[in-house]
Amino acid sequence: MRAIGIKGDQGPADSLFIDEIPEPTISSGEVLVKIHAFGLNRMDLSQREGKYPVPAGAPKTLGVEFSGVIEKTHGGASEIDSFKVGDEVFGLAYGGAYAEKIAVSAQMLIHKPAKMSFEEAAGIPEAWITATQALFLVGCFKKGDRVLLHAGASAVSLAAIQLAKTAGAAEIYVTASSQEKIDFCVELGATAGFNYKTQDFGDEILKVTDGKGVDLIVDYIVGQGYLEKDVKCAAFDCRVVLLALLGGVKTQEPIDVASILRKRVRIEGTTLRSRSLEYQKALRDRLVQEAMPKFEEDGYKLFVEKVFSWKDIIQAHKLMESNQTKGKIICIVD
C-alpha cells in the first residue's frame, strides 16, 4: 500500500514522500480501516525530525488520528461486536495514519455520525481526547474554576475552551500570537485573551482576576518564560498541566519555588501517546459519552483550517510549522 515516508528516516518537511510499504495485518481485537483522511499534529513534526520517542511497537509511519471505513475485522475483543465491515469510523492509533490503511484496536474506534464529514472526523481524536485528559483527568477541573489555556487557537485549546465552558468554568483565558486568534477564541467562548508577543500574560491575568490568579493552566510551551509566568498567575492550589515543549525545555529565568510552596501549586507533566490502551480507552469512552451527543446536536464546533491532498503533505507540514493556523490541518488520502 501507499504511505507517507521520510527520506533518510528523518528530516525537514521536504523529506516527506509517498512510499510503498506492506499492508498492515490485524490481530485479535483489531480492525483494518481504509483511511479517507488523517489529521496533522505537532508530534508529527517532532517525529519527522527524529525528536519524538515513538512508543515501543508503534509503526514508524507518522500519524495517530484518522477517519475511514472498516475493511476487515478480527475477533477477540468485546468492542469488536459493535463494528462491522463497511462502518464509517474515526479513531486514535499509536501511529501509522499517514497511509492508505491502518490496523488499530477496535477499542479506540468511534462511529462517525452521518452528518459529519470524514475531514471533520479525522481532526477530533487527538485534540478532544488530549483536552479531556488535560482538563479532567490530570487537571482535576471543577465547576467554577478559572482556566488559562496557552496556544489558544490550537485544536486542543479550541476543544478545551468548549469543554471547560460546558463544565462550568467561571472564566477562560487564552494566550495567542495575534489579536485575530484572540478574537476567534473569545467568539468561541473564552473570557479574554492576551498576546504573548506584546503582553506579560502573568501580569495581565493577575489584573483581570483582581490578584486571585487562575485555578488550572494547560501549557504546551514551558520554555520562553511561560512556566515562570504560570507560577506568577497561579491561584492557591492551582494545577499546571504540561503537555508539550514547543518553547523549549529550559526556562528563561529561575522558577520562584517559594511561590509554588506558598500557593500549593501542583505542576504535572503528561503525555497521551505513551499511555496504555486501557488509559486511552477510558478517555475515548468519555468522549463518546459526553462529547459526541453535543457534536450531533451542533453544540460543539469543529475547526478545520485547511484540507490538503496527501500528495501535498510537504505543504501541509510547512503550514503547521508556520504557526498561522486556527484549528486542524487535514489530509485526504486520494
The answer on pLDDT for 223 being more than 60 is: no
- Using a cut of 0.75, tell me whether the model's pTM lies above it: yes
Of the two residues 61 and 74, the one the predictor is more confident about is 61
Which grid cell is 207? Answer: 489584573
What is the tens place of the pLDDT at every residue in 281-333?
A: 999 999 999 999 999 999 999 999 999 999 999 999 999 999 889 999 999 99
Which grid cell is 20? Answer: 510503498
Contact 13, 317 (CB under 8 A): yes
The answer on pLDDT for 224 being more than 70 is: no
Distance separating alpha carbons of residues 239 and 16, to the nearest angstrom: 39
Strands 65-73 and 2-6: unpaired
Question: What is the band of 21 on the pLDDT scale with cuts at 50, 70, 90?
Answer: very high
The tally of CA atoms less than 13 A away on the side-chain side of residue 50 is 8
Give residue for cell 492551582: 238
What is the tens place of the pLDDT at every residue in 114-147?
A: 999 999 999 999 999 999 999 999 999 999 999 9
The answer on pLDDT for 254 being more than 90 is: no
The answer on pLDDT for 78 being more than 60 is: no
What domains appear along the chain, each with residue ranges and CATH number?
Answer: 2-124+273-332 (3.90.180.10), 127-269 (3.40.50.720)
Strand ranges in the chain using DSSP code E only, listed in sequence order: 2-6, 16-20, 30-39, 65-73, 88-92, 101-105, 109-111, 146-149, 171-176, 192-195, 214-219, 234-242, 266-269, 304-309, 328-332
Contact 79, 54 (CB under 8 A): no
Write the DSSP string, 8-30. Answer: GGS--GGGEEEEE-PPPP--TTE
The answer on pLDDT for 98 being more than 90 is: yes
The answer on pLDDT for 12 being more than 90 is: yes
Max Cα-Cα span within the chain: 60
Least confident of 225-239, 242-256, 275-289: 242-256
Ramachandran class of 323: left when φ > 0, alpha when ψ lies in -120 to 50, beta otherwise: left
The answer on pLDDT for 251 being more than 80 is: no
Contact 198, 228 (CB under 8 A): no
The answer on pLDDT for 246 being more than 90 is: no
The average confidence (pLDDT) of the chain is 93
Distance separating alpha carbons of residues 124 and 242, to the nearest angstrom: 21
Closest by CA position to 129, among listed 256, 275, 248, 262: 275
How many other CB atoms are found less than 10 A from the CB of residue 281?
16
The answer on pLDDT for 210 being more than 80 is: yes
Which grid cell is 299? Answer: 453544540
Write the DSSP string, 139-192. Answer: T---TT-EEEESSTTSHHHHHHHHHHHHTT-SEEEEEESSHHHHHHHHHHT-SE
Contact 171, 147 (CB under 8 A): yes
